Amino acid sequence: MSTKITPFLAVAILFGFYHLYISLLRLFRPRLPYPPGPRGYPLIGDLFNAISNTHKGSKDINQHEWARYLEMGRKYSSDIIHVNVLGDHTLILNSAKAATELLEKRSGLYSDRPRLYMMSDLCGWHWNLATMPYSNKWRLHRRIFHQDFQAKAVSTYHPFILQATSNFLRKLVPIEYDPLHAPEIEHVDLESYVRDHAGSIILRVVYGITAQEDLNDYVRLAYLASESLIATMNHGSFFVDYLPWLKFIPAWFPGASFKQKANTWAPMVSDLANGPWKTLKSSMANGTALPCFATKNMEKFNLSNLDINSIENSNNLNSEPDMEEVIKNCSAIAYFGGSDTTVSLVMSSILALSHHPEVLKKAHEELDRVVGPSRLPEIGDRDELPYIDAIIKEVERIYPVTPLGVPHRVISDDVYEGYFIPKGTTVVPNVEAILHSEELYQDPLKFNPDRFLRNDKDSELPPNPELFSFGFGRRICPGRHFALDTAWVLIACLLATCDVTRPLEESQKGCRTPDPVLDYFDGEIAHPKPYKCRIVPRSITALNLMKAGYPSEN
List binding-site positions for heme: 477
Closest by CA position to 497, among listed 446, 550, 453: 550
Give, for all 554 residues of the chain, the pLDDT tens digit.
Answer: 344 444 444 444 454 444 444 444 454 454 789 999 998 777 777 777 777 666 544 334 446 888 889 999 999 999 999 999 988 999 999 999 999 999 999 999 999 999 999 999 999 999 999 999 999 999 999 999 999 999 999 999 999 999 999 999 999 887 666 666 666 676 668 899 999 999 999 999 999 999 999 999 999 999 999 989 888 988 888 889 988 998 998 888 888 899 999 999 999 999 999 999 999 999 999 999 999 999 999 998 876 554 444 433 434 434 444 899 999 999 999 999 888 888 999 999 999 999 999 999 999 999 999 999 999 999 999 999 999 999 999 999 999 999 999 999 999 999 999 999 999 999 999 999 999 999 999 999 899 999 999 876 657 889 999 999 999 999 999 999 999 999 999 999 999 999 998 886 665 555 555 555 557 777 778 888 888 888 999 999 999 999 999 987 54
pLDDT in the model for residue 4: 47
User: In this structure, are residues 503 and 354 in contact, taking their beta carbons and an 8 Å threshold?
Assistant: no
Cα Dmax for the chain: 105
**By C-alpha distance, which of 536, 532, 520 is closest to 65?**
520
Beta strands in 301-453 (DSSP E): 408-409, 414-416, 419-421, 426-429
- For residue 93, give the H/E element and its range: strand 88-93
Domain boundaries, the chain: 27-548
Nearest to 382 by CA among 190, 161, 542, 538: 161
Question: Within 10 Å of residue 307's Cβ, how many Cβ atoms?
Answer: 9
| Closest to 239 measured CA to CA, from 262, 272, 216 | 262
pLDDT for position 11: 44
Cα(234)–Cα(189) distance, rounded to whole angstroms? Answer: 29
Over its C-alpha atoms, the chain yields an Rg (Å, rounded) of: 26
For the chain, percent helix, then strand, then coil, each to nearest 5?
A: 55, 5, 35
pLDDT for the residue 133: 94
Which residues are CB-neighbours of 143 under 8 A, at least 6 positions away? none
Backbone angles phi and psi of 547, in degrees to 5: -70, -40
Give the predicted TM-score (pTM) of the model: 0.86
List Cβ neighbours of 211 (8 Å cut-off, separation of 6 or more): none
Spatial CA neighbour of 481 closest among 221, 178, 188, 157: 157
pLDDT value at position 61?
A: 43
What confidence score (pLDDT) does residue 277 get? 95
What angle is formed at CA 422 by the lines to CA 419 and CA 428, rounded to 5 degrees?
80
Q: Which long-range contacts (CB under 8 A, 24 or more apart) does 9-18 make?
A: none
Write down how long the chain is: 554
Is residue 295 within 8 A of residue 208, CB to CB? The reply is yes
CA–CA separation, 429 vs 553, rounded Å? 44
pLDDT at residue 553 in the model: 56
Please give the full DSSP string across 50-61, using - where no structure is assigned.
HHHHTT-----G
- The residue type of 310 is S
Question: Which is nearest to 376 in space by CA: 534, 489, 501, 486?
Answer: 489
User: Per-residue DSSP letters for 377-421?
Assistant: --GGGGGG-HHHHHHHHHHHHHS-SSTT---EE-SS-EEETTEEE
Superfamily in which the 27-548 domain is placed by CATH: Cytochrome P450 (1.10.630.10)
Q: What is the pLDDT of residue 319?
A: 42
Going by the annotation, the residues of the binding site are: 477
